[in-house]
Structure 1
Amino acid sequence: MKIIGIMGAMDLEIKLLRDKMNVSNNEKVAGFNYYIGEIEGNQVILTCCGVGKVNAASCTQILIDRYGVDCIINTGIAGGLHNNVKICDVIISDNVTYHDVRKAQMKSCFPYKEFFDGDKELIELALNACKLNNNSDLNYHLGRIVSGESFVSDDNLKKKIVEEYSPHCVEMEGAAIGHVANINDVPFVIIRSISDNADNEATMSYEKFEKISAENSANIVLNMLRTL
């Protein structure tokens, strides 16, 4: 049986999944809690990595080295960056990259890639899970997700990121997860639901929609697990 690693940056992003999980063991490694058990008959390692790229990368490497996961699904919330993306929409990553690392550096330094591609099978599974979602009003998109060490809540920064990367959304962990998964040859996909528009109103919107958006994303993951 495959071992599926599932990650969120904050407790609210994995709460629904933990509530649905039959936990057989709980281990703390390097400060991260790893819940070991089953969801929908699948062997799962569920963890909360904390906010930011270094936390996400460290937690991902432990998932791979210590628990031998066969694939990684990252679930959570994000700021919308695309004109067609609305609050509470779901974004499935076709690829991920950093918005705070120069493109030249990405291409000229190991691992010599400007972005990291999501796994085609996991992407297809996620898209099908969106179609099966009980919420008929839920919109979903396939597109680029960018990450950086800041909560984007400024119109000027948003404009700069959009012009340079043409992403669907922005967050703080996905590219690091994809980076580590890629260099370890572990399939991954990033799933995010929009809590705000990464603009001057982002903080107010985030506080209103963070829980709803976190559950939207987690429900897609649950649908994926049901169809595996």
Structure 2
Amino acid sequence: MTHFPSSLAPGGRPLPAASGPPDATPRIAVISAFPPEIALLEAALEDGETHRIGPARYITGRLDGREIVLFLSGISTVNAAMTTQAALDHFGVSAILFSGIAGGVDPSLGIGDVVVPERWGQFLEGAFARETAAGYVLPGWMSAPVANYGMMHACPVGVLPAGASAPESRFWFDTDPGLMEIARDAAREVELERCGDAPARVILGGNGVTGPVFMDNAAFREHVFSAFEARVLDMESAAMAQVAHANGVPFIAFRSLSDLAGGGGDENEMVAFMSVAAENSARLMRAVLARLPEAVD
């Protein structure tokens, strides 16, 4: 069996068949969104073996002494949901660690900082409301947890939790508290690459948001910061988080700022800084991975 703290137990996810997934070896799923991010991790993987599931490639092996399955989520929400669910269906995944770059929303943060949010939501999951004399108004049977941006209202999604018989309405998906504590411990020792004069920092807690758009707009960045109280935004993490929640699998996402999502003074910074951001995120993720209990058959 897998020896994890209670909050990290696989807990509740129905197996696709009585015999379990095709590869039932207990593993940590390690995910990145696109090739420049995963290359850092693949280079360090030991005893790698490639598996094809549908259009995606999954690599099993050992990283930092832990059995993992490493794969690209693909860019944006549909790809992330598809590849994460396939991993859970085909491998004995006991926890999910996502490492990648992101856009900074909180104006107090800088490029290279690594953000580890306590919860994730989808900022473009919702409704485009009707314009009336009273403003943009949702139908009476809909609700929105945060302030709108013009006609755009973010709304909860219906999701069937692991072991439940009826769906629930949910906007936020919570990072596993046990994994967050391990990240807090790891952050005290990890060394990050600098970006400019200021040292890069680890920022634990707060909100992260996800949407199927590349965000590079100062006005909407301000809205996301004020309405969602978000520190960071990306294109995959909340989709992964929803799949993890639906399957009863604990998750945590590490996102290092490659750009300021439209808040910088010149052209978007991602191309210039994605390498150092990907490196910083991977360093913290691996420090957490190395602190996880080893799986024991």
TM-superposed deviation, 1:130? 1.8
What is the TM-score with the length of structure 2 in the denominator?
A: 0.73
Shift of 1:200: 5.7
Deviation at 1:207, TM superposition (A): 0.9
User: 1:168 is matched with which residue?
Assistant: 231
CA distances 1:120-142 after superposition (whole Å, capped 9, x unpaired): 11111122222211338331112
2:27, 2:233 → 1: CA distance? Answer: 28
- Whether the 8 Å contact between 1:158 and 1:199 is mirrored in structure 2 is yes
Letter in 1 for 2:187: C
Q: How does 1:74-153 map to 2 (within 5 A)?
A: 74-102=98-126, 103=144, 105-106=155-156, 110-135=167-192, 137-142=199-204, 143-153=206-216
Cα contact 1:77–1:213 (8 A) shared by 2: yes
Give matches, 1:46-65, under 5 Å.
46-65=70-89
Percent identity, aligned pairs only?
28
> What are the superposed Cα offsets for residues 34-87 of structure 1, whole Å, 9 maximum, x if unpaired?
010001211000001110000000111011111120010111001111122111
Cα offsets for 1:150-177 (capped at 9, x unmatched)? 1110112212222220100010000000
Asked if the contact 2:192–2:283 (Cα under 8 Å) also holds between the matched residues in 1, the reply is no
In 2, Cα distance between equivalents of 1:159 and 1:176:
23
Q: 1:159 aligns with which of 215, 219, 222?
A: 222
Q: Distance in 2 between matches of 1:47 and 1:215?
A: 17
Paired residue for 2:275?
A: 211
Among 31, 35, 39, the residue aligned to 1:15: 39
Quote how far apart the aligned CAs of 1:93 are.
1.8
| Gaps in structure 1 of 5+ consecutive residues | none
Aligned match of 1:4:
28
| 1:120–1:203 distance in 2 versus 1, CA, 3 Å | farther
Q: Shift of the alpha carbon at 1:226?
A: 2.0
Q: How does 1:27-46 map to 2 (within 5 A)?
A: 27-46=51-70
Residue 251 of structure 2: which of 178, 181, 188 is its match?
A: 188
Give the greater-gyration-radius structure (CA): 2
In 2, the alpha carbon distance for the partners of 1:127 and 1:76 equals: 18
CA–CA distance in structure 2, aligned partners of residues 134 and 221 of structure 1: 12
From the superposition, tell whether residues 108 and 41 of structure 1 become closer, same or farther in structure 2 (CA, over 3 Å): closer
C-alpha contact (below 8 Å) 1:111/1:183 kept by paired residues: no
**Would you tell me which structure has more helix in proportion to its own residues?**
1
Q: Which amino acid aligns with 1:153?
A: D
For the Cα contact (< 8 Å) 1:75–1:191, is it kept in 2? yes
Give 1:24 deviation, angstroms. Answer: 3.4
* Structure 2 stretches lacking a partner, 5+ long: 3-25, 127-143, 146-154, 160-166, 194-198, 293-297
- Alignment-derived partner of residue 14 in structure 2: none
